[in-house]
Structures are given as C-alpha cells and as structure tokens.
Structure 1
Amino acid sequence: MNFLFLMTDQHRVDTLGAYGNTLARTPHLDRLAASGTRFDRWYTPTAICTPARASLLTGQAPFRHKVLANHERNVGYLEDLPDGTFTFPVALRDRGYNVGLIGKWHAGTVKTPADYGFDGPHLPGWHNPVDHEDYLAYLKEHDLPPYEIHDRVRGTLPNGGPGNLLAARLKQPVEATFEYYMATRTISLLEKYAASPEKKPFFLATHFFGPHLPYIVPDEYFDMFDPADVELPKSIAETFEGKPPVQANYSAHWTFDTMPIEVTRKLIAVYWGYVTLIDEQIGRILEAMSSLGLDDQTSVFFTCDHGEFTGSHRLHDKGPAMYEDIYRTPGIVRIPGGHPQERQEFVSLLDCTATILDLAGLSTDEAVDSRSLLPLLRGETPEWQPDILGEFHGHHFPYPQRMLREDRYKLVVNPDSTNELYDLVNDPDELLNIYRHPEMEPVRSRMMRRLYTLLKERDDRFYHWMTSMYDIGEVDHDPTQSGLDEASYQ
C-alpha cells in the first residue's frame, strides 16, 4: 500500500465544488471526492498550524504532545516534540517505506522533516519561503522570473499602523509560483519512488502553504472570480454581543472595520482563485500518479490543518473563536477498492494517523487519540462517537478553550469570560450565543457533563477548572487535590 497525502493550509471547506460551492473551480479535488469518501464532518483538533500538524505526526491531541503554538507567536509552550515521541513517518520508514515530504513543515522549530525520516527539502516557516535555495535554483533552472508583488491589500491597526498583508498580485507566470514548484518537486520524487529497484512502498506528502493568507497569486487567479458574484457570509453581521470580548479584539487586530465591504468581497474572490491554483497543481500530481500506473496501489488523502475566517464573523486568519469556519475542514480519502460515498460521522485530522498505520499493517496503539477510519472507508457502519472535541491554547497570547460539537449543538468553554452555546440547526452561522438562555439549561448541563467526562477520560486537566465552576454531576475524586481533609497520622 502506497500513500499520497495532499494537504493545504488554512482552507475553508466551502471553497470546493464537492462541498457545495457552485462557483468553485476545483475539478481535480471534486473528482477525487467523487471517486472516494467525502467526510462532511471532518474537524481539526485545534485551529492553529503547528499543534495540528504535530497531532497528525503523533496521533496525539495537542494537550498531550504539548506543542501548543506556532513558534512565530510562541507564548511559552514547547516548540518541538520531545525526543522519543512516536511519529507515524518513523514507523513507516522502519517498516521499509520510502517516506517523503514536499512543502510546508511547520511542526517544530529545531527539528526538521529529516529528523522524522522524511526525504525532500526542508521548507520552513508559515508562508511560502520564496528565498529558499531550492526554489531559487528551480527558477534559475527554468529561466523564470523572481518573486515580486504589487497592489497590496491591508487595513489599519488600532494603533494606526499598517495591518497585516491580506492579499497582493504576484508578478510571475503560474510556472514560477511556489505552488507549481512544489508540484514539480513532488512529481519528481514520485517518479523516483516508482522507479525504486527495491520496489519499496512509499508515503509521499505534499503540504501546500496556501490558501493561507496573504493570498498572493498571479493576475489570472487574482481576477478569476468576480467579487459581484461572491455571496458574503451571513456572519458578516456579527455584533459580538454576548460573545467573549476577545473576538472583538481580534476583529480589530485583523482590521476588518477599517476596510470597505467591497474589499471583503474581493478578498474572498482572490481566496477562491488561490484555491483554484492549488487544485490545478494537485491535478498535475494526480495525473502523474495515474500515468505511472499507481492508482490501484495508492491511498490518497486530501485535507488541511484548519480553516480560515476570510471575513466571517468580521475576522480573518484564525484565533480564539471556535467557529465552524476554522474547525470544520475538508476531508477526502480514496483507498484502492473503495466505493464513492459521503459520511456523516464526526472525524478528525487526528484520525489520519491511525488510518495510515492501519492501512500499512502497523499497530495503531501508540496513536493514542486517533481512530482508524478504515471501517468507514470500507462502507461499514461501526459504532462511532456521536460528538467531537476541539481545543485551543493560544495564538499571540495564552488562551485556553475547549469545545464539544454534537449533531445539533456546540458548547465552548472559555474560562476567562462567557461560555458559548450554539444551535447549529436554527443558527448555522453561530451568531446567537444561547448559553445563558434559561430554556437551554438541560442542553447546557448535559453537554457540560459530557465534555467533562471526555476530558477526564483523556486526562486533559482542563477538567479541573470545570469541576469547581460548572454543574458536572458527582465526582469520584477530591476536587481540591489537597487530600488533607481525610488525612490522619498515627
């Protein structure tokens, strides 16, 4: 069994035709979805790059592996996995696999992909490293022009300074883009693995840096979609009333109110264009795999680390707001012999780890927070957890959150301020926080107890705060952790 693992960064699920966007131009990913399993409730364990990617490597939830923030905005957490931590690429290489990675790493600071057994250039950082020596060599080899941008889009920060760069035009042909370069390098490594005289199986990952902002693309993608055709998200009407104050602060940080609404439409249109650029490169990779006769021997995964706001809730990027925009993501898997289907079970990026191990015939025991999706991919109907957890630990500053998402409702616990409860049937855009509504007490109490139980079973010690602050039912331990009330001395 070979593996092709295609991953994007900060990718909204509603940018793909396969997930209902009628304007999207994503024929290659749509075709992959139509020939495999499309998961409609695929979630990230945390909406931040490095912790999510560390979870993929280990099969551990972020609270367990403890790499909890991007090092560019580190708030005092670990920046690399401790020595000796189980990771699936090492397990695959020990099994005799060729293991390659082309693209974004961002799963540590000091340790590189090679430390986990990956072949391929180390491409560090959170954005396209356009000054990387291998990319510059690629441009020179093909007589392509260097990176250059213009028509920058940004707002104004609360202190009056220029806001973060959100988009810009790239003065390069598509063949010179970093995305095209990554696909080219992937195809070369794919061909090398296919020609291996030892006939080793392979795991090959391509991790695109986009469509993470800033959306920097050539004119043909910058102008591919007419902003007039863009339907603004309903949550653009967000008032932050009854919400944690940090959300309004983040909106100011991302300068939303300093730009006309027409700019938001244009940013969404450019974001869709960026997705199309990546889809085309994925198409090149999939076509190369087919031409090498590998389709019937290769499982293909497509997903991302987390979503993106793109103006939803008057926000950009991601952050301390556990909305569907950044926690629900695309997830598509095609296995040899599988049949086209759509699944409604709650699954996670975390579950990729155990699935890969399972398909490779390896034990999944050390991927302790991961579940193999193989029964679902085979069309079976096993017992499955009816809800899913999410966690967040901070970005720019420490900020702990925990989330429980079930079929209809979502509960978010925010120790610093107000908790959140959303009815995703009547309020799919999560505009109305009904946590304090009296009629919601039975739902609130039930979900709080369920969240508490799941966290305690995991030994995610966030549950200690919940023990004393909320109705979580009877406890079977001393919540003060003192033990002195019962102490006796002879």
Structure 2
Amino acid sequence: MVQLYSSEERKHEGVYRDIDWGHVLDAIEFIESKPPEPFCLFLALGNPHPPYAVEEPYFSRIDRNRLPSRIPTPEDLGAKSTIHKQLAELSNMQNWSEERWNELRAVYYGQCARVDDQFGRVLDAMKRAGLYDDSAVFFFSDHGDFTGDYGLVQKTDRAFDDCLVRVPMIIKPPKSHSCTPGIREQLVELVDFQATVHAMTGIAHTHTTFGRTLSDNLADPGAAGREVVFSEGGVSKMHWKRTQENAPEPKPTGMYWAGHMIDRSMSAGSLATMCRTDAYKYVKRSDQRDELYDLQNDPSELQNRIDDPAMTAVLTDMKERMLTWYHETCDSIPFDNDKRES
C-alpha cells in the first residue's frame, strides 16, 4: 500500500507546486512505474480547505454570477445552537456584503475545480497504464464547509448541517463487478467505504466493524440504503481537560480560530451526536440545547423544532433510533481470544 500523506514542495515543469500537487504528481509517477499488483494507492489531498485561496486557471473558472444561493443567516442563529451563534460572533463577518460572500464561495468552488482536475489526471494516468478497467476507484471526503451558509465559514465538529456532513462519495468498481451508472440518493456512512472494499477484494475482517457494503447499490439503483445515519463530534467532559491543558493558545490568524476558542472555553458544549433519516435530523448535545429539523419542509435546517409539541412523536422516534445505535455499537468483542484463554 502506498500512502501519499505528505510531500515536500517540488518544482515541476518550471513551476513550484504545493503539497497537493506533490501528492498528485507522486501518484502519477507511481502509476507509471508499473507497480506490482495488487496495489492500493491512498491519495490524501488537503483541498478544498481553508485558507480560501486558489491559483489560476481555477480562480477565474467560476462565474460569480451563476453561484447557487447560500443558506441565509437566521435572525436568531442561537435558536439553532449555541455553537452556531458563537462561531458567528467570533468570526465577526456579520456585515459582509453578498458580493463579498460570493467571492469567497467562488474561490472555494475554484478549489473544488482544482481537485477535479487533479483527480482527472490520476484517472488518465491509470487509463494510459491499462489499470483503470480492473481497478476500484473511490473518491470521498471527511467533511464539508460552511462557506457562507448561515453566515459562517470553515467548520466545527459539533455542527451537523448538511453542508458539513453530506459530502461526495464516488465509486467506480472494477469491470468484473456489476454497476449501473448514475446518482444514488440513499443514505450511506463513510464506514461503508471499508465494507465495500472488503466485499470487492475478498479481504476478511479482523475486528468488528459497522459498515455495510454498497455493492448492491452499485448494481441496482433501487436497492435499499440505510434508514438512518449517525455522526459524532467533540469530546466528553472527562477528556476535555486533557486535550486542552497542553494545547497552544489559538492564534487569530490561524485556521479554525473561532472553533478553537470555543473548544478552549467549552462554552458551546462538549459532545454532540447526529441522527439523520431522509425526513428528519436530530442532534443530541451533552450540555446545550438539542436540535430537530423537518428536512422535507425545511431542507436548509433553519427552523429548530426541538421544543415544538407537534414534533414530539418524531423526537421520540429519533431518540429511540439513537439509543438503538449506541446499544448496537457501544461494545465489541475481539475476534481472537487473548493468551489467558486455553
């Protein structure tokens, strides 16, 4: 397995490239070296990611007049959650014009365009090397970005708006595996990536995992997906002191400064968990007000209905789903007995 996590900046075709370009060029070089098979290439890119900046031609590739509308800032952002409100206050971007927001968003889309270009170059190298048809290719991300939605930027691991947790996953299976091309709307979790790789390669699990293979979904667009998905963020109070006592003081010029300042104070709560179905989203917080959204009527998640009596049955159902999930995943037994067993 080849892991391309870090690379020195390198000069290529007379131009100094950044670390992401170093990753991509190293990956292409590896592919062209005729590596022994089977091989696994894991290519980790930093973009799109703050700081918001991108070079030409990607900077000018995005038409500022054709951007989709951003999710507006609610009049009472604190009604969503304390952390949303504090992120806005610390970021101090309340007076930004829509033109300025559009410029930031266009740059972020430009970063996405750059990744598209880089990924395409890797795929082209695979095709030239005759490796594309028989290879499984996965494209995914760990999180999204506010990029202006709700008047916020960057991200925090204790917010679960769709702009942060609904991220791309693109799969191209080997030609030996059945696949109907198209877009799937079913819910999946990132842990399903591992389960799908194991199913495609015949690799046996060596420990308990909770992913589900997506092979059926690739073959049949109508195959069932997950009824509910989950995400967790933050740390429990017992771990907070240990993580913060030796942490350096956040710098206002650094990435995620607002989020780090909230982390230092614990003023926006410690641990949070999201439970999402096609129709609803529930966020449980250990210290702050919970969140509940009707995604069918409020896809932008602007109306927190956690205290709405009309949503009592929905809230009870979502809490039961979360309890069931924790019950099913909170503990697992090793596959192999330890040396104390005869």
Pairwise CA distance, 1:309? 0.5
Partner of 2:121: 284
Deviations along 1:321-365, one digit per CA (max 9) or x if unpaired, are 211110111111011232213323211111111211221211135
Deviations along 1:270-303, one digit per CA (max 9) or x if unpaired, are 1111111111111111111011111221011111
The one of 320, 328, 333 aligned to 2:171: 333
RMSD value, Cα: 2.2
The one of 194, 202, 216 aligned to 2:39: 202
Give the distance between the partners of 1:368 and 1:379, measured in 2 at CA: 24
**Given the superposition, is the C-alpha separation of residues 272 and 441 from structure 1 closer, same or farther in structure 2, using an over 3 Å criterion?**
same
Pairwise CA distance, 1:213? 1.1
The residue type equivalent to 1:329 in the other structure is: V
The residue type equivalent to 2:100 in the other structure is: V
Pairwise CA distance, 1:237? 4.0
The one of 268, 274, 298 aligned to 1:427: 298
Q: Does 1:357 align with 2:195?
A: no
Q: Does 1:389 align with 2:230?
A: yes
User: 2:272–2:283: 8 Å Cα contact kept in structure 1?
Assistant: yes
Partner of 1:101: 3
Q: Does 1:346 align with 2:217?
A: no
Q: Counterparts in 2 of 1:53-452, with a 5 A limit? A: 99-103=1-5, 123=6, 134-135=8-9, 138-139=10-11, 142-145=13-16, 176-192=17-33, 195-196=34-35, 199-237=36-74, 239-319=76-156, 320-337=158-175, 338-364=179-205, 366=207, 368-379=209-220, 384-393=225-234, 396=260, 397=263, 399-452=270-323
User: 1:256–1:311: 8 Å Cα contact kept in structure 2?
Assistant: no
Give the distance between the partners of 1:214 and 1:329, measured in 2 at CA: 19
Pairwise CA distance, 1:384? 4.6
Give the distance between the partners of 1:437 and 1:354, measured in 2 at CA: 38
Give the distance between the partners of 1:452 and 1:392, measured in 2 at CA: 17
Pairwise CA distance, 1:457? 2.0
**Given the superposition, is the C-alpha separation of residues 203 and 447 from structure 1 closer, same or farther in structure 2, using an over 3 Å criterion?**
same
Give the distance between the partners of 1:256 and 1:298, measured in 2 at CA: 45
Pairwise CA distance, 1:410? 0.6
Partner of 1:13: none
Give the distance between the partners of 1:453 and 1:235, measured in 2 at CA: 35
**Given the superposition, is the C-alpha separation of residues 379 and 364 from structure 1 closer, same or farther in structure 2, using an over 3 Å criterion?**
farther
User: 2:228–2:278: 8 Å Cα contact kept in structure 1?
Assistant: yes
Pairwise CA distance, 1:446? 1.4
Unaligned runs of 5+ in 2: 236-258, 332-342
Which of 394-403 and 282-291 deviates more?
394-403
**Given the superposition, is the C-alpha separation of residues 301 and 454 from structure 1 closer, same or farther in structure 2, using an over 3 Å criterion?**
same
The residue type equivalent to 2:286 in the other structure is: P
Give the distance between the partners of 2:62 and 2:185, measured in 1 at CA: 31
Unaligned runs of 5+ in 1: 1-98, 104-122, 124-131, 146-175, 461-490
User: 2:71–2:148: 8 Å Cα contact kept in structure 1?
Assistant: no
Percent identical residues: 29
Give the distance between the partners of 2:196 and 2:15, measured in 1 at CA: 40
Deviations along 1:211-247, one digit per CA (max 9) or x if unpaired, are 0111221243223323333233133345315222221
User: 1:238–1:431: 8 Å Cα contact kept in structure 2?
Assistant: no
Give the distance between the partners of 2:69 and 2:219, measured in 1 at CA: 38
Pairwise CA distance, 1:380? 7.7
Deviations along 1:147-192, one digit per CA (max 9) or x if unpaired, are xxxxxxxxxxxxxxxxxxxxxxxxxxxxx34433322111001122
Give the distance between the partners of 1:341 and 1:279, measured in 2 at CA: 18
The residue type equivalent to 2:317 in the other structure is: R
**Given the superposition, is the C-alpha separation of residues 202 and 367 from structure 1 closer, same or farther in structure 2, using an over 3 Å criterion?**
farther
Secondary structure of 2:121's counterpart equals helix
Give the TM-score, by structure 2 length.
0.80
Which of 178-187 and 447-456 deviates more?
178-187
Give the distance between the partners of 1:332 and 1:448, measured in 2 at CA: 31
User: 2:281–2:295: 8 Å Cα contact kept in structure 1?
Assistant: yes
Pairwise CA distance, 1:310? 0.1
Q: Which has the higher contact order (CA 8 A, sep 6+)?
A: 1
Aligned length: 297
User: 2:217–2:225: 8 Å Cα contact kept in structure 1?
Assistant: no
Secondary structure of 1:389's counterpart equals strand
Give the distance between the partners of 1:410 and 1:419, measured in 2 at CA: 11
User: 2:180–2:221: 8 Å Cα contact kept in structure 1?
Assistant: no
